[in-house]
Structure 1
Amino acid sequence: MEKTLDFWFEYASPYSYPAAMRVEQLAAQAGVKVRWRVFLLGAVFQQYGWKTTPNELFPAKGNYMWQDMQRICAALNLPYQKPSTFPRNGMLAARISANHAESPWIGEFVRSVYEANFAEDQDIGSSELIAQILEKLGQDSAQVIAEANSDDGKQKLKQQTQQALQQDVFGAPFIMVGNEPFWGNDRLEQAIYFAAHGKLPATITLA
């Protein structure tokens, strides 16, 4: 029986960046397949009556997050540059990710978009940038973008976001292993271990 995990992510989520950059490699080492599941955090915030992100509602939390991101990325040797604009519009990238969740190139696409946003401070809302990423992956960017922006393409992202809400996904990154939830970049290794072994290790070492 194939061992899998669902990796729920949002392109505007800073903590999803270090998790997305690592999840596929770590999961492969454990014999676990990653299923990429993009969704829109805005729908989650609306559910709680929030009109903006918690980091905007609570400035101290936002300030801490950016300091924490610097530490996390330095520890993981990941390039990092605080985005000059936050949050950026990841709608097109999200639609593409929902429409091509099973495509063999989706992992590399996701990582490239995250790198553009959090390592290179590029505007991931730019269709030109997304087209460049697709072309580098050998894809017909015009066709992929047109499909993503079609009514069917938009509906797939809406359906996937609704699925996230039904599964009580309340933040990103969020990992589901069957019915077992794991929230946050710092729970990534636990989630992968659980997916591989069906249980958590007897002792957990926190780095």
Structure 2
Amino acid sequence: MSLKVEFHFDFGSPNAYLAELALPGIERRTGVKFDYVPVLLGGIFKATGNMSPFDSLRGIKNKPEYNALETQRFIRRHNATKFHSNPFFPINTLMLMRGAVAAQFEGVFEPYFRAAYHHMWEEPKKMDDLEIFRQAFISSGIDIDRLIARAQQDDVKKGLIDRTTDAVNRGSFGSPTFFVGKEMFFGKDQLRDVEESLVEQTSQPVSKSA
């Protein structure tokens, strides 16, 4: 049975955007593909009582500055030259995340995913404004009106709720979260541990000669 490796993301998390930049390298080195799992971060926060660093670090002396320093180190390490802070942050991502589930159901996840991250963190826009949302995806060649309509259907809404609830039940409290089999890792700074666990769990035991 092959090892299941998951990346749980919400487009509203800049750390999830940055973490995803490192995943292709891990996939190349290990030969294992990540499953991309859309979750609603607001739902996870509500279920767990957690909050974003934008809120939790407010008013704390020195910690926000150090958090920003660590982010810059990560950006340099992974050459994240396209990343820009979104001036409209925080953004309600319900439309974006339902769209991600709809895109998975319709077989157009990859272009939708790339376009969503582009308009959130590379050419940042207020992506919880419906008309800005529509025009952004149209400019990226996405048939967004079809996905908006699909996202209103019950199976998509339930799909996002189920993914979010399952993540919380398995221990998640934020994004990005990674699962390597049953092992959970949180945050972009755990990617080295993610890769190490992945290698350990996929390595074949060396048979001893008789």
TM-score of the superposed pair, with normalisation by structure 1: 0.79
| Mapping of residues 73-152 of structure 1, within 5 Å | 73-78=75-80, 79-101=82-104, 105-128=108-131, 130-131=133-134, 139-152=142-155
Identity %: 26
Q: State the AA in 2 paired with 1:86.
A: F
CA contact (8 A) 1:37 1:101 kept: no
User: Structure 2 vs 1, CA of residues 118 and 84 (structure 1 numbering), >3 Å: closer, same or farther?
Assistant: same
Asked whether the 8 Å contact 1:66–1:82 carries over to 2, the reply is no
Structure 1 residues 142-181: aligned runs within 5 Å: 142-181=145-184
Q: Which protein shows a greater Rg?
A: 2
Say if 1:41 and 1:121 are closer, same or farther in 2 by CA, change over 3 A: same
Distance 1:31 1:131, change over 3 A: farther
Equivalent residue of 2:171, what SS? coil
Q: State how far apart, in whole Å, the 2-side matches of 1:107 and 1:85 are.
A: 25
Q: For structure 1, which segment, 191-200 or 150-159, has the greater mean C-alpha deviation from structure 2 after superposition? A: 191-200
The answer to whether the 8 A contact 1:88-1:124 is kept is: yes
Report if the CA contact (8 A) 1:92-1:149 is conserved: no
Instruction: Please name the residue that 1:205 is paired with.
Output: none
Q: 1:183 corresponds to which residue?
A: 186
The root-mean-square deviation of aligned C-alpha atoms, in Å, is: 2.8
Deviations 1:50-88 (A, max 9, x none): 5x5343133134444344323321332112222212111
Shift of 1:23: 1.4
CA distance in 2: counterparts of 1:112 and 1:139, whole angstroms: 8
What TM-score do you get using the length of structure 2 for normalisation?
0.78
Structure 2 unpaired stretches of 5+: 204-210
Q: Which letter maps to 2:32?
A: V
CA drift of 1:125 comes to 2.1
Aligned to 2:184, the other structure's residue is in SS state strand
Could you say what secondary structure the match of 1:83 adopts? coil
1:49–1:88: structure 2 CA closer, same or farther, 3 Å change rule? same
1:71 counterpart letter in structure 2: R
CA contact (8 A) 1:99 1:148 kept: yes
Distance (Å, rounded) in 2 between the aligned partners of 1:77 and 1:139: 27
Q: Partner amino acid for 2:16? A: S
